[in-house]
Amino acid sequence: MSVRLHSDNTQVGPHSEGSCQEALWRLYKTHGAPFTDLWKAFTHAERPTHTAYAFYLNWKDLGLPRLAGLVEAYKKFNMEFHYAYDEGWTFHPDTDLAKLEFSSIADLHAHLGGAGTLAEYCEEFYNRNKFVVKTPLRYDATKTNPWPVRYSRYAAPRRVQVVP
pLDDT at 4: 58
Burial (CB count <10 Å: 0-12, 13-18, 19+), residue 43: exposed
Q: By three-state DSSP, how is residue 110 classified? A: helix
Contacts of 2 (CB under 8 A, 6+ apart): 8
The amino acid present at 161, given as its one-letter code, is Q
- In order along its 164 residues, the chain shows pLDDT tens digits of 455 555 556 666 666 777 888 899 999 999 999 999 999 999 998 888 888 889 999 999 999 999 999 999 999 988 899 888 899 999 999 999 999 999 999 999 999 887 789 999 999 999 999 999 999 999 999 999 999 999 999 999 999 999 98
pLDDT at 1: 46
pLDDT at 5: 54
- Cα separation, 2 vs 74, in Å, equals 19
